[in-house]
Structure 1
Amino acid sequence: MHPLPFRPVLLSAVALLALSGCNRKAAPPAMPPQQVGFITLQPQSVNVHTSLPGRTDAYEIAQVRPQVTGVIQKRLFKEGADVQAGQQLYQIDPSRYQAAYDTARGQLAEAEAAEVTARAKLERFKPLMQAHAVSHQDYDDALAAEKEAQGRILNAKGQVESALVDLGYTHLNAPISGRIGRTIITVGALVTANQTNNIAIVTRLDPIYVDVNLPAITLLRLKRELAEGRITPQANGEVPVTLTLEDGSTYEHVGRMALSEVNVDPSTASVVVRAIMPNPDKLLLPGMFVHAQLDEGADPNGLLVPQQAVSRNTHGDPQVWIVKPDNTVELRQIQLGQAIGINWLVTGGLKAGERVVTVGLQKIKPGAKVKPTEDATSQADSNASSQNKGQ
């Protein structure tokens, strides 16, 4: 009678074995390594440039102001036209200054006539004094009178020159060559000597300045890279400058960097850099907003990494995934320079020969095993971008 209670025990054991077999069949297979695309960093010659916003400024500017008082008789220029240095712009009524000049010339003639009489008297007294026919006192008086007459001539000549200068100032001439703006006064208006308000402005437009603010940290980087030989300067030693206008178009003429300020502005931590741009067509006008690109030279060992390979951490620091020799991946923080085409110029954190992941970044984690494949497309784009920048 014992086999009866033994049957449920056997059935339970068989059920457990069956469930165990089912569990072994349901276990997922091991995942294969994630496939990723990478590029191998290779040093290459990269043209280095810095793009900064700036504004144009006049090369020369002169405010036209009267230096004598009088009524404007004529305006001798067309508003908005180009004028030459010395070209007459206005005519001030010259009558009073002509009269003063004529009076001064008359006084000079009188002084010269008086000097002739005094010199003749002195010449007569000289032999008479030697013969004791006149006293030494009379001779000294004649000598003093002749010198006084010479002094009056010098004074009269000064008056003539002063009157002639004032007469010349009735011709208001252009102080520099350039383009003249609108006139502030009209014919018949009274102007006064040394007035504070100008009556016209002449601006030289060709060439023209472009002033940009270069961050001091960028200036330090440039000097350091030049000292280390990472950047090769231009053959003529000058730094070319190209412009992008406010409408996005490229300015057709190439200028050069002229100077940089000695002092750093403490409020902006920047240095003013001034470029000189040719402006034969007068397209650039003072006060225009532009983007100036300073070509600094070539970095013979530049490393470029595609922008798609770079991500940012929570602090905004750039980072890339590296494929190590054992085909595991590592997330590494790097330092970047400027953007060149679709790439970033690497300034730290990477070295030549390392493999940077460009495809499949979202599916990997630190230390994971991957199946790397050369990303020929990104590598070709990187080389093409570098070559285009070098032209």
Structure 2
Amino acid sequence: MNHSSKRPCVTAALLTAILCAGFALPLAAHEGHEHGDEKKIQSAPGNAPQRLPDGAVFLPKSAQRGMGVLTVRVAEESLPRTFELPGRVIMDPHVGGRVQAMIPGRIEAAGAHGLPAAGSKVKKGEVLAWVVPASGAIERSNQSALLAELKASLGLAERRVARLKELADTVPRKDIDAAESELASLKGRIAAVGGGLSGREALIAPVGGVLAASNAVVGQVVEPKELIFEVIDPDSLHIEATAFDPLPLDQVAAATVTVGDGGRQRAVELNFVGAPRRLREQALPLIFENHAAGAALSLPLGLPVKVLVKLKSTVSGLPLPASALARNTANQVVVWVKTAPERFEARPIRSEPLDGVRVLVTGGLKAGERVVVQGASLIAQIR
């Protein structure tokens, strides 16, 4: 009686435990009837930027705004063919000049304001500094002795002229003229010797402009032909490009050089002046110029630059900013094309320089596609 009453309770408790365990375990679906939840989770990009299995990049709109991604629709254009040549900034010989010492001596300031510093504005004919001639003790003593001898001879010549003029009625006129000529010669020799002892050389600005270089210090001893100052015109820029390969000079139209760095780069247009018909170090120099307000202040003398020489012949392609170019893991030059509102694909391209700020895409891209022109390097970093 007692055993039979306990058996239903044990059976009910065991059934309840089995049912609870069954609900806790995942139910296995029949073969061919999977719901595909795991597949959906793997393929759905979510809301985070990520690299997709096919190499494309998923980038949500919010991430695009945060990264500052900008795109443009490219269009085909016919533009001048361009070559990139190494070059350097040189002085315009028409409006620039150098100030060099003609004698050995010591530098002295030209006024109370002292010596002009590099970057100062100067006027044509302005005295920039003085060079006090340097001479040895023996040389100075010889000049002093010669000066004393000339002064003594000058006194005798003055008295002789005075006597001859008193006897003008009895003395031939030619004797008086000869005495006066000797007196004038002695005065000139005294002035020359005295100037050599106490004189100084003025360093004068040959042109007006800005001091590009100032190598003068008060008390500095300089030698003849030593460069002291260099003056340039701030509104004249000259570039010398070097062509190592044959270049059709009759096809050269103009050139550009890039000024600035980062996102503030700009291309400065240059006019072709000409090219000498003589090689220098197995290369042909080409001279370009630009005359504009402050043109020479943006590029200092001697700065190496990249000159993009434009020819009269044209080539068809898709112009793009240089910031649109990036590199993939295979070190190929690519651009990122926007194929969907939140999908970007990398396209290997062929390009050539255009003007220092833009490039011309000649292969790998089609007209009408939207290309990333800002933020391409950030997209390439997404993994």
Q: TM-score of the superposition, structure 2-length normalised? A: 0.46
More helix by share: 1
Q: TM-score of the superposition, structure 1-length normalised? A: 0.45
